[in-house]
Structure 1
Amino acid sequence: MLYGNESISHYTPGNISIWMSMAFQAGILNIGGFMAVHRFVSHVTGFATFFGYEINQTDKSHAFGMLAVPLFFLLGCMLSAQLVDIRLKLHKRPKYYITFGLIFFLLSIVLGLGVFGYFGKFGEPLELSRDYTLLILLCLVCGIQNGTITTVSKSVIRTTHLTGVTTDLGIGIIRFLNRRKLNSNFGNESEANLMRVGIIFFFGLGSVVGGYAFSQLGYAGFFIPVLTSGLLFFSMLYFQIFKYKPTAIILPSTLCVPQNIAFRSALKNRLKALNFLSKCLDRSKLIENKKLTKWIKE
C-alpha cells in the first residue's frame, strides 16, 4: 500500500492490489449501471453511439442527455488531474486520499439514493431526471478513478474500460515475442503486460460478482463498490496523512558543531588547495566569502 513517501506508481505488491481492486470495482459499477438503467457507465464510447441513435428519434431529449453525461466523466478526469497529475509535475505530493475520498463519497450517495427509492425500481426503463442523476454520479466516479490510475501508471494502466488495455496488451505481447530482434530489455514491458492481463481478469470478475449481486439485491448491490472504495480511501488517508514522514535533511555532526577542530582543519586545508588550484589555472580566487576565511584563520 502507500507506505510513507512511496508512490502508487511503482510495481509493488501493495500498489498492484490497489490497481486490481479498482478494476474489480469498475467492473461492478459498469454492470450496475447497465442493469439499473441499461447504459454502460465506465467509458464514453457508448454515449456517443446512443447520442447518434437518439438524435434521429422524435423525442430529442434523450439525445441531449446522452451528450451531457460524458461531460461528467471528463470533469472527473479533470478533478483527478488537478489533485494528482499537476502536483506530480510540480514535484509535490499527489493527494490520492482526496481522489479516493471523492469516489467513496459519491458511491455512498448512489447507494443511499438507490436504497431509499430515489431512482425508482431497479432495472426499469431510462427516465430523464432520476436515472440521469445515477448515470452522472457513476460517470463522475469512473472519470476520477481512470484519471488517477492513468496518471500514476504513466498511461500503462486504465482500470475503467478494456479497449485501450487490450490494445496495449496486443502490442506488448508482440514486442515481448520479438525482444531478441529488437535487442532491448523488456522487463518493464513484461510487468506491464501482466498488469494488463490482471486488469482484464479483475474487471471481468467484478462484472460477474456485480451481475449476481445486483440481480439479487438491486441498488443495495452498490454496497460492494462502496466497501472497496472505503477501504482504499481510509488506507490512503492513513498512509498519506497519519503515517507520512517528511524527508529530513541530516547534517554531519561536524557541520552541526562549527567549533570542531578536525572540521576546521580539514576545511582550511581544502581552501588552501582550492586557492592553489585557482593560481595554477590563472583564475580569480575561488573563495570570496571573507567572513568564512576570517573565521578559519582565527
Structure 2
Amino acid sequence: MLRKFSSARSLTDNIQLGALTAFAAGMVNVASLIIFFAFTSNVTGTWAILAEEISKANWGQVVIVGTWLFLFFYGNFVSNYCVISIKKSNYLSHAIPLVLEILCVVGVGIYGIYYYGETLRETEILVGVLLFAMGIQNGLVATISNGAVKTTHLTGLTTDMGILVSMLTKKEYREQEAVVNKFKLLSSILVGYMAGGVFSGYLYWNIGFSVFFVTAIFLLFVLSYDFIKFRLRFMRRKAEMPAAAQSAYRTQ
C-alpha cells in the first residue's frame, strides 16, 4: 500500500490507501472539533478566518491563524520532500512522514491526558500540531498516488462526486473504466472519512483524549500493512514449497 509510487499503483492500492488514511483523518478532525472546537484536517475555513481577522486588524489572531496555515503547508512540504529525497527505499521515504504523523497524534494525546489545562494558548498549540499532522498525511497520500488520493478534506471530493454521479447517469460514461474507477476510489474515501469521524466521536465520549492513541494504533497498522502482507505471502509460499526445497532453503 505504501511501497508503490505514482503510475505503479493499482486502483486497489489507492482504494486501500485512501479509505484507511481517510478513516484516520476523520478520527482526528472530529476529535479536534469536539475538544478544541476547531477543524484540523482541512484549511478552507482557516483561510476564511484569516481574512476575517485581517479585516478586523486583529493582528495577534492573524499571527496565530497564519501559523496554523503554515503548519499545514509545512506538513505537505515535509512529506513530499521525504519522498523525493530518499532514494534507497521507497518504503522508508513513505514511512517516515507517517511516523511523524503518529508522533504528533500521540503527543497531543499524552499532553491532553496529563497536562492540558484548557487554556487558549494550549489549545492554539495543540490545534497547530494536529494541522501539521494532517498536512503530513495529505501530502504523503497525494504525492505517492500522483494526486489521485487526498484524504483530509472532502470539499473537492464532494464536487468530484457530484460531477461523476451526473456522468454515470449516461450509459457512455458508465462503460468507461476510468470514470467508474474514480467513483469507486472517491466513494471509498468518503465512507472511510465518515466512518472514522463517527467512530472517533463515539470513542471520545468514552475514553477522552485516549482517542488519539487509538488513531495512532490505526496509523501503525497502515504503516505496517505492507510488511505484514509481504510476510504472510512469504510464509504462504514457503508452506507450499516441497519439503526438500524447504530443507535446502534453511541450509543457505
Task: Say which structure, 1 or 2, has more relative contact order (CA 8 Å, 6+ apart).
Answer: 2
User: Aligned letter for 2:222?
Assistant: L
Task: Please say if residues 31 and 200 of structure 2, whose CA atoms lie closer than 8 Å, have aligned partners that are also in contact.
Answer: yes
Structure 2 CA distance for aligned equivalents of residues 74 and 234 of structure 1: 26
Structure 2 CA distance for aligned equivalents of residues 131 and 237 of structure 1: 36
Larger Rg: 1
Structure 2 residue aligned with 1:155, among 147, 152, 158?
147
Offset of residue 15 of structure 1: 5.0
Offset of residue 238 of structure 1: 6.6
> Are 1:207 and 2:204 an aligned pair?
no
User: Aligned letter for 2:147?
Assistant: S
Correspondences of 1:130-209 after superposition (within 5 Å): 130-178=122-170, 180=172, 186-209=176-199
Task: Please say if residues 79 and 136 of structure 2, whose CA atoms lie closer than 8 Å, have aligned partners that are also in contact.
Answer: yes
> Are the structure 2 counterparts of residues 162 and 237 from structure 1 closer, same or farther at C-alpha, using a change threshold of 3 Å?
same
Q: TM-score, normalised by structure 1?
A: 0.67
Structure 2 CA distance for aligned equivalents of residues 214 and 62 of structure 1: 28
| Structure 1: stretches of 5+ with no match in the other structure | 244-298
Task: Please say if residues 29 and 197 of structure 2, whose CA atoms lie closer than 8 Å, have aligned partners that are also in contact.
Answer: yes
Structure 1 CA distance for aligned equivalents of residues 128 and 210 of structure 2: 18
> Are the structure 2 counterparts of residues 152 and 215 from structure 1 closer, same or farther at C-alpha, using a change threshold of 3 Å?
same
Offset of residue 73 of structure 1: 0.6
Structure 1 CA distance for aligned equivalents of residues 137 and 198 of structure 2: 20
> Are 1:225 and 2:230 an aligned pair?
no
Structure 2 CA distance for aligned equivalents of residues 210 and 198 of structure 1: 18
Matching residue of 1:261: none
Matching residue of 1:102: 100
Matching residue of 1:26: 25
User: Aligned letter for 1:102?
Assistant: L
Offset of residue 175 of structure 1: 3.6
User: Aligned letter for 1:218?
Assistant: G
Q: What do the CA deviations read for 1:75-124 (whole angstroms, capped 9, x no partner)?
A: 0111111122x369x8973611112111112111111111112x324xxx
- Structure holding more helix per residue: 2
Correspondences of 1:47-126 after superposition (within 5 Å): 47-55=46-54, 60-84=59-83, 86=84, 93=90, 95-117=93-115, 119-121=116-118
- Say which SS state the counterpart of residue 11 (structure 2) adopts: coil
Task: Please say if residues 14 and 145 of structure 2, whose CA atoms lie closer than 8 Å, have aligned partners that are also in contact.
Answer: no
Moved more, 168-177 or 219-228: 168-177
Matching residue of 2:243: none
Task: Please say if residues 107 and 225 of structure 1, whose CA atoms lie closer than 8 Å, have aligned partners that are also in contact.
Answer: yes
Task: Please say if residues 15 and 188 of structure 2, whose CA atoms lie closer than 8 Å, have aligned partners that are also in contact.
Answer: no
> Are the structure 2 counterparts of residues 238 and 79 from structure 1 closer, same or farther at C-alpha, using a change threshold of 3 Å?
farther
Identity rate, percent: 24
